[in-house]
Structure 1
């Protein structure tokens, strides 16, 4: 969050940071300890749609992943818990595994985009397993007439306490990163300035104990940059990286892959229903990052201010069992991965996300109307309508119950023609033709060239 209103106010969730594998086989995170058995990831976020209407919710949302790049929203992308005090809403949730193996969630006390609302508090929940959330309370951080934005926490082993960092305006008149120390997230020490480079900074995210350094990532002038220190002492961090951005970018989240030496950096654009962008690096000390192809990652729909932490395979399975995977899917274009299959005025297209209504891009992949071994695409927001071809163009029509309609609306899912890990869809009653986009409009065509194969390849996800 910044000193002036800015649409995204980010929070870093999750695993503040990891060190290399220790001799004990345990990965140590700024947020606590992740067991060597950790093999999956959890993301926390809130949601905002383009119009701040349908799809906007200032509660705690979670998604899970086995690769940290493609995500399954829990509870149908609805909140798992919502604040009951303060502003009655949250932004910038942060999720951390504590030293005892349980979790704590902290978040900005703010609902919506009223940046003039100043809260001295942050929301707090405890959770043993992320399936239940208990002990809801607000933690007071300061007595200043200003905000407490984008809280994050990490374990400071030297102090034997958790450090809660957040963005606030101090006597300098601009946003700095403040810190309070706590053992229980019930009471906290007096605030101190953690990082003040002399200009406005928000959205602090920590990576602790990486080859002798501690890293602080933050937003500076619409860009994600980093500072580092050999200690965790307030005032000890020095900016060192050039930074990355995709337009105006905020809300950095940095974490290390569980299966490789790769570090990932996620950032968020400002606008409601903003877009996440991701970068990778093999060396935090280099301060350099390479943008990931959007084909490789997919954010939960409408998600804002993501943060990512590691969980065990059992926790992953239990979260899906408790909250369920979505009953719908979205289809991402292979060669235009910022675009998703949607209907607009009942015509089928691939359009750039985000758009209103976002539900235009949600589909139930049901057994084929003409052949149950195939698939038909039922619209979520027009459930009496299905995608069908008519004169080879795809459109959204009401099922009239005829065999002709059933045939036109049935497709066979195959390995992706351009990438076998993706999907392509062959027409039931025109078996030489596949769904593909041409000038962003969907139709069924014969497919032979490499370009046509890319046009006919989609990722089925959420």
Structure 2
């Protein structure tokens, strides 16, 4: 649950004994043909203003690390009942090959709002969402946070886990069972270690073990069991965090078989961090270099599922890639190109206002084979160099301005899979940062090449 660190405390009554269940990997079982990834999320900006939307957002990725937001990073659907907003969406492919989306019934940060329901949508292909409804999970005066679902082959039912508060006053992981996500069985306790835990995410049947990941004391920790009996899980391994971290999402790489553990900070406009492990049994994770992954802009508390190449292509065809880009620094990958007081620089994400880091890459004003950077927030202004410094100016229509605002994109000087930008009218100079400020300079050293290399993404 992407939530305030101080959680509400309400009594939970009428729980029955837990029973065994069988689960699949948190994001659903990958089909043999799956070759790409889909992510669901909601958005929050740092001031909970522009860029905040509690509808269902969708992004796709060919590698599971760098994401393309669909529909211009606008929601595809929004709840029409309950709190009229969602948090913590989860995506799973069902046994019949179609998808189901679950989400917390909560809009914004009203942590005192207690819903007995979760939001549910069906989707055949993630291009349309049908059958919107709320599913009631309990009759208790507490919340139903961060729902996820798994197929229990032994029962022939789906299991839904979520966070609620027990009679002792702390959050536990609950479970209900359903065949159709329309009605569900009575709630049972799935995991209660005796302290506050939320945001349960499962990886099941990995070399004889089943794994539960969750948030404990602002840290992502894990428990495991050789069975799937509720109450059988034992905490193990070292936790991971980057500041206050929540919303664990475990994903298996389709390319390498390694596992990624995603988490994000609980502040508005939380920053996603990712760790990697070749063995869940080891209980150890290595932080991924931020060069290797980029979260969708303003995204919070994601759910990830694997999809086919055809589904990936069809989603892009249906919803389209954004009409804007962000440029990530190669050697400061937490920083992105932005303008501030009409000066060009790189600043650490999240950036406020976030639109100052969005750019329309248009044909070069002086040479259409090149590129010019038009500001999204100030669409009459372009990045141009003046006395070798980059600044955001209004296009005055002169040939000088056009030349100053035009660059030729090349293979990245520090990494050919990234990009560098050579000045059109000063062709011995490249766009680079120095002390976080953008300028054009000759490039000769390894540091220069890194300063002049950027990832063009979203």
Please say whether Structure 1 and Structure 2 have the same fold, judged by a TM-score greater than 0.5: yes
Deviation of the 1:31 alpha carbon: 5.7
Cα separation, 2, equivalents of 1:223 and 1:250: 7
Deviation of the 1:3 alpha carbon: 9.2
> Which string of whole-angstrom CA distances, capped at 9 and with x for unpartnered residues, describes residues 258-299 of structure 1?
011211001100110110000000000000000000000000
Deviation of the 1:451 alpha carbon: 0.5
- Map of 1:254 onto structure 2: 250
Task: Pick from 115, 129, 133 the counterpart of residue 129 of structure 2.
Answer: 133
SS of residue in 2 equivalent to 1:318: helix
Task: Pick from 72, 75, 78 the counterpart of residue 79 of structure 1.
Answer: 75
Deviation of the 1:198 alpha carbon: 0.4
Task: Pick from 271, 277, 302 the counterpart of residue 281 of structure 1.
Answer: 277
Task: Pick from 338, 359, 362 the counterpart of residue 363 of structure 1.
Answer: 359
Indicate whether 1:402 and 2:398 are aligned.
yes
Cα separation, 2, equivalents of 1:30 and 1:245: 19
Deviation of the 1:159 alpha carbon: 1.3
- Map of 1:325 onto structure 2: 321
SS of residue in 1 equivalent to 2:104: strand
Task: Note if contact 2:344-2:390 (Cα within 8 Å) is conserved in structure 1.
Answer: yes
Cα separation, 2, equivalents of 1:92 and 1:209: 25
- Map of 2:112 onto structure 1: 116
Task: Note if contact 2:46-2:269 (Cα within 8 Å) is conserved in structure 1.
Answer: yes
> Which string of whole-angstrom CA distances, capped at 9 and with x for unpartnered residues, describes residues 5-47 of structure 1?
559xxxxxxxxxx99xxxxxxxx74565432110000011000
Cα separation, 2, equivalents of 1:334 and 1:214: 37
Task: Note if contact 2:5-2:266 (Cα within 8 Å) is conserved in structure 1.
Answer: no
Cα separation, 2, equivalents of 1:361 and 1:266: 24
Cα separation, 2, equivalents of 1:239 and 1:72: 35
Unaligned runs of 5+ in 1: 8-17, 20-27
Indicate whether 1:345 and 2:341 are aligned.
yes
Deviation of the 1:231 alpha carbon: 2.0
Task: Note if contact 1:3-1:174 (Cα within 8 Å) is conserved in structure 2.
Answer: no
Deviation of the 1:410 alpha carbon: 0.3
Aligned residue-pair number: 444
- Map of 2:378 onto structure 1: 382
Task: Note if contact 2:249-2:302 (Cα within 8 Å) is conserved in structure 1.
Answer: yes
Unaligned runs of 5+ in 2: 8-21
Cα separation, 2, equivalents of 1:6 and 1:60: 25
- Map of 2:216 onto structure 1: 220
- Map of 1:272 onto structure 2: 268
Cα separation, 1, equivalents of 2:43 and 2:100: 20
Indicate whether 1:454 and 2:450 are aligned.
yes
- Map of 1:316 onto structure 2: 312
Task: Note if contact 1:32-1:99 (Cα within 8 Å) is conserved in structure 2.
Answer: no
After TM superposition, which residue ranges in structure 1, 4 or more long, deviate above 3 angstroms? Answer: 1-7, 28-33
Task: Note if contact 1:30-1:155 (Cα within 8 Å) is conserved in structure 2.
Answer: no
